Amino acid sequence: MNTGQPRRLRIGLPQRVFSQVLLMQLAIAGGVAVLATGLFLRPLSAQLDDQAMRRALAIAETTASPAIAEELLTTPPTVDGPVQANAERIRKATGAEYIVICDLHGVRWSHTTPAQIGKVVSTSAEAPLSGHEVMEIDTGTLGRSARGKVPLRDARHRIVGAVSVGIKYDSVRGHLVSMVPGLLAYAGGALAAGALAAYLISRRLQRQTHDLAFSDIAALLAEREAMLHGIREGVVALDRGDRIRLMNDEAQRLLNLGPQVIGLPLAEALGEGRIADVLAGRVTGDDLLTVRGRRVLVTNRMPTDDGGAVATLRDRTELEQLGRELDSTRGLIDALRAQDHEHANRLHTLLGLLELEMHEEATDFITEVVGVHRTTAEQITEKIHDPLLAALLVGKATVAAERGVPLRLTPDTLLPDRLVDPQGLVTIVGNLVDNALDAVSAAAGAQVEVELRAQGRTAVLRVSDSGAGVPENQRELIFTEGWSTKKPPAHGKRGLGLALVRRLAERQGGSARVGESTEGGARFTVVLPEALSEPGLTAVGGAR
């Protein structure tokens, strides 16, 4: 809608970074050139003034000879007198503006203007007549000049007058002004070079900032901070020296670090390990799995143009646990299917015995079938007093039986109900037993043996199998996250079980290693110091 009023043209600073930086740098370069020129001219002017005054003083000292003093004493102050003649001769030879010689009463005996001879000087001659030398910039009858005054002494060194020499100040200033064009030329050249450098720098900033305004850049930074600290995915930014330059709140939580690690190298902040290798780019790939504490993390790394990198971290702990539960559920379903088939066969056998009226044989058959399962459960609960761990081994024994693999406890197995972290030990035993069952699943005469015993407050776990074993050159490699010889499952990647076992053991100050069993397979040994509480105390981690 047109109101009929003219629109006012608003003139302000340009909004783009290129234009603002260029103007600021041109202003700075111009200001520096002017300041440098002024700072140079000021001491130069003072230096030239000092040189002129010293030159005037030197001419005055040369003029104040005993011969001139003798002529002053023996001749009157006239225009064609010897004092005036000698003074004019020296003035013309030295290029001085004037040379004035006066007696003790201040009467001039020489002057550039003959009419002034015989008259009293216009400025005080008290200082040179009292024996002092004078250098000054002053204004007399001949205008502004640089002056030098000395006493005039005769052959007996008595003061008989004074000599005053002046160099016109305009001539000094003219000399200075004559130097200004050259100085301005140098300053202009410096200003032009500064303007060119400012233009090139501004063009570079324009490319790097995508020609955004400062307000846009500030808004982007604010949005970046809000986004980084608001997303539920860890973000770690590294410079070209693998030092942490940014870490959002989620990354600090997942890595169990504080903001004080920003600026530190990865090796110092995280220590040696796979996660530091992945973040530093020593291990490459997409969706790399790492373990930090009890967390399973999915890590991706993307290099940046400045030689650094940005890494993202996703917490997959719950997903991995669900995947393992899914694997266990699938195995249990397969076992139940096999058990259902076997149960049907047993029911058919029982039905046949009853139809044949072989009641006594039917009773013995039922007792034998039920007794096998009852005996297994009773044997485990007698040796393993913790209910969580006992339930796990009973379930694993059932699954192993359906696979045709005997799972037995060694005679030395005995673990009291004093576990500090029963869930952690359940995770360790479950992973090791699963690996052992997988290792012997297709072997004839397969067996798995579990040993769990207490040595004071230390728990020692050994899981042995009769499989192919682990080559000696791979016995450390198998504890690395992501390493596995088995085909990845549908829900994700393998290679976390043994890494998690070692990490849980080391978290409790223990160790996990693998060797060779007596049957030629693998034997995993886990030592957990302080895994049991003192007798008579309630365990911290268990539900009693």
Helices (H), strands (E): how many in the chain?
Answer: 14, 14
How much is the pTM?
Answer: 0.42
Average pLDDT, the chain: 77
Structure tokens at 108: 């001039």
Mean pLDDT value of segment 429-436? 88
Whether residue 343 is predicted with pLDDT greater than 70 in this model: the reply is: no
Type of residue found at 393? L
Q: Which of 470, 471, 453, 447 is nearest to 519 (CA)?
A: 447
Least confident of 161-175, 364-378, 484-498: 484-498
* pLDDT the model gives residue 161: 93
Type of residue found at 97? E
Residue 539 confidence class, pLDDT cut points 50, 70, 90: very low
* pLDDT the model gives residue 277: 84
Whether residue 179 is predicted with pLDDT greater than 70 in this model: the reply is: no
Following CA atoms 197, 198, 202, 205 in sequence, which dihedral angle do they give, to the nearest 10 degrees?
Answer: 70
* pLDDT the model gives residue 9: 40
Least confident of 32-46, 61-75, 292-306: 32-46
* pLDDT the model gives residue 462: 93
Q: Are 57 and 48 in contact (CB under 8 A)?
A: no
Whether residue 3 is predicted with pLDDT greater than 60 in this model: the reply is: no
Could you read off the pLDDT of 272-297 as tens digits, one per residue?
877 888 888 888 877 776 777 767 78
Q: Are 108 and 77 in contact (CB under 8 A)?
A: yes
Residue 370 confidence class, pLDDT cut points 50, 70, 90: low
Could you read off the pLDDT of 204-214 as tens digits, one per residue?
766 666 666 66
Whether residue 509 is predicted with pLDDT greater than 80 in this model: the reply is: no
Q: Which residues contact 24 (CB under 8 A, 6 or more apart)?
A: none
Could you read off the pLDDT of 96-150 as tens digits, one per residue?
888 999 999 889 999 988 889 989 988 888 889 888 999 987 765 556 678 899 9
Could you read off the pLDDT of 471-502 as tens digits, one per residue?
888 888 888 765 555 554 444 444 567 888 88
Least confident of 221-235, 241-255, 333-347: 333-347
Whether residue 170 is predicted with pLDDT greater than 80 in this model: the reply is: no
Mean pLDDT value of segment 314-332? 61
Q: Which residues contact 387 (CB under 8 A, 6 or more apart)?
A: 417
Whether residue 228 is predicted with pLDDT greater than 80 in this model: the reply is: no
Q: Are 429 and 328 in contact (CB under 8 A)?
A: no
**Structural domains in the chain plus CATH codes:** 20-175 (3.30.450.20), 232-315 (3.30.450.20), 319-528 (3.30.565.10)
Least confident of 39-43, 351-355, 461-465, 509-513: 39-43
Mean pLDDT value of segment 454-475? 88
* pLDDT the model gives residue 492: 44
Distance (Å, whole) CA 236 – CA 250: 10
Q: Are 87 and 72 in contact (CB under 8 A)?
A: no
Mean pLDDT value of segment 455-466? 90
* pLDDT the model gives residue 166: 87
Q: Are 407 and 397 in contact (CB under 8 A)?
A: yes
Whether residue 385 is predicted with pLDDT greater than 80 in this model: the reply is: yes
Q: In what order do the strands lie in the sheet with 511-516?
A: 407-409, 448-455, 458-465, 522-528, 511-516
* pLDDT the model gives residue 463: 93
Residue 1 confidence class, pLDDT cut points 50, 70, 90: very low
Mean pLDDT value of segment 161-190? 71
73 versus 137: which is more confidently predicted? 73
Helix or strand (DSSP H, E) at 512: strand 511-516
The three-class DSSP label of residue 304 is coil
Residues in a beta bridge with 243: 265
Distance (Å, whole) CA 461 – CA 452: 5
Could you read off the pLDDT of 41-59 as tens digits, one per residue?
666 667 777 888 888 999 9
Q: Which of 499, 391, 515 is nearest to 463 (CA)?
A: 515
